[in-house]
Structure 1
Amino acid sequence: MDRLTVSIVLYRPDARLLQATLDALGEACREAALTPELFLIDNGGGAAIMASLRWPADWTAHVLTGHGNVGFGCGHNLSLAGEGDIHLILNPDLEMAPDALRAARDFLRGHPECGLVVPAARWDDGRIQYLCKRRPAVFDLFLRGFAPAWLRRRFAARLARYEMQDVIGDAVVWDPPLVSGACMFFRTDVLRRVGGFDPRFFLYFEDFDLSLRVARITRIAYVPAVRVVHHGGHAARKGWHHVRLFMQSAARFYGLHGWTWR
């Protein structure tokens, strides 16, 4: 497992965060002695900053542009032609620890039954970000994304269960039902076998859908030795356009995988 493909989908990216993502990736690649094939997929608004980005000269880099805003999942699917044994799906606002890539590769080498590694993530203020989830009822999504603080406090135990807070910690957790697409370390053949992300999802829930399809052919593992910091935000805090996209994708997800209201 000595070849790495990395795909990063961009839409109006923050230049500072994106460069920090690439810098951290570079350090992790040096630690793991890997030279990546990098795909930067510009879904819009990234052209102005491309010339200012820096990455090591020995990387193979593909900048894909001109295809319009095809969505998060479809954007990543454009990189499936990459030649890596490992395919890293990476957000442009996420920094890996220097040893994260080596730890993920070593885990995949030691566990052939595993096709997808999920890292331990923290927000930039140090709080744990729970990338693994149990399958939510519609009520859980309402609580987590849109309910007022007093109502979230009332159902704190329920939300903690949804985020798997009872099991996520310092030990490997096998087969979490759903995982976030912010950072995914795939065996490339697994990602290709399921056809990548479902193009029917424009934004949100494409990672949950992918999790369920991947789990049918391989095992997923949360590996706390793989550490990252994610600077991202929540849909409900991004304005009504994102709220609408979130709700549309939620309806599609439940339509495909079954509705659970409470």
Structure 2
Amino acid sequence: MPAPSPSSPPITVSIVSHGQLALVRPLLEELDRYSRGSIAKVVLTLNIPEPDVLAGLRWGFPVERIENAAPKGFGANHNQAFGRCGTPWFLVLNPDIRVDADVLAPLVAQAAPDAGLLTPRILEPGKRDPEQHRAIITPLEILTRRRPAYARPAVPAWIPGLFMLFRSDAYRQVGGFDERFFMYGEDFDICARTQLAGWRLQVGEELLARHEAQRASRSSRKHLYWHVTSLLKVWTSAAFWRYLLARPRRG
């Protein structure tokens, strides 16, 4: 794939729909309204068959579709989309993310040379303040995170997979998402491996995206099962233990 010219839009966006095209449509409209100049294309993966509510619609960037013959996991879908990325940046984006201004151009503009993964602050439904930074996931951290005395880290150990802007070189170096995680846990894992590879995780503290959260793991036994088994995979992985032991030295 030819290298993009310096004036080319720098970002390929990957969005996966699990019967969620009605959510994808307003997201594409907002990306077109605010960030058209930063987006080379959107790779839209239809993980399951669904009515095409986007038929006939056009945006200021091409939308390239992948229709899976069988459903894939979160990481496998985005790894597949990365195979069609020829830009310096690769954005993994949930269908239920919303923006009220351009966050992509400012994120790229402020990226440090060693920043391999960027994100804005995320505002959850019903909240006035963005989500606090996340510590390393451990059983103790899960049990204590809602207590008043819980101390949030000043610098996040990881960011959730709903808005992850990767430097393509970093994504390629770590081999993308670990496809052993079907859903949940793959975001922590890739954050750990990216930082262990020498890249920094950078947050645009003044930039904001909204999450119209759908917490399936709280209402679906299947999603809860995926969540619990993914945590077990995280805690038994070599990357988790290497990151846990290296983190204090990284400050």
Runs of at least 5 residues in structure 2 that lack an aligned partner in the other structure: 1-5, 245-251
Counterparts of 1:243 and 1:253, CA distance in 2: 15
**Structure 2 partner of 1:214:** 194
Partner amino acid, structure 2, of 1:186: F
Change (3 A) 1:100 1:139: same
**Structure 1 partner of 2:61:** 59
Partner amino acid, structure 1, of 2:109: D
Counterparts of 1:48 and 1:255, CA distance in 2: 40
| Off by >4 Å, runs of 4+ in structure 1 | none
Query: Considering only aligned residues, what root-mean-square deviation do their CA atoms show, in Å?
Result: 2.3
Change (3 A) 1:230 1:253: same
**Structure 2 partner of 1:225:** 206
2:165 counterpart SS class: strand
Counterparts of 1:224 and 1:252, CA distance in 2: 31
Q: TM-score of the superposition, structure 2-length normalised?
A: 0.83
Counterparts of 1:241 and 1:143, CA distance in 2: 25
State the Cα distance separating 1:75 from its structure 2 match. 0.5
Counterparts of 1:177 and 1:14, CA distance in 2: 32
Q: Which segment is superposed worse, 67-76 or 231-240?
A: 231-240
1:178 counterpart SS class: coil
Counterparts of 1:193 and 1:118, CA distance in 2: 19
Change (3 A) 1:107 1:59: same
Q: TM-score of the superposition, structure 1-length normalised?
A: 0.80
**Structure 2 partner of 1:7:** 14
**Matched-pair identity in %:** 26
Contact 2:38 2:104 in 1 (8 A): no
1:207-228: CA deviations, max 9, x gaps? Answer: 0000000002211111123210
Runs of at least 5 residues in structure 1 that lack an aligned partner in the other structure: 145-151, 168-172
Q: Out of 79, 83, 86, which is 2:86 matched to? A: 83
Q: Out of 136, 148, 171, which is 1:156 matched to? A: 148
Change (3 A) 1:237 1:143: farther
**Structure 2 partner of 1:26:** 32
1:4-28: CA deviations, max 9, x gaps? Answer: 100001112161x221211111122
Q: Which segment is superposed worse, 193-202 or 224-233?
A: 224-233
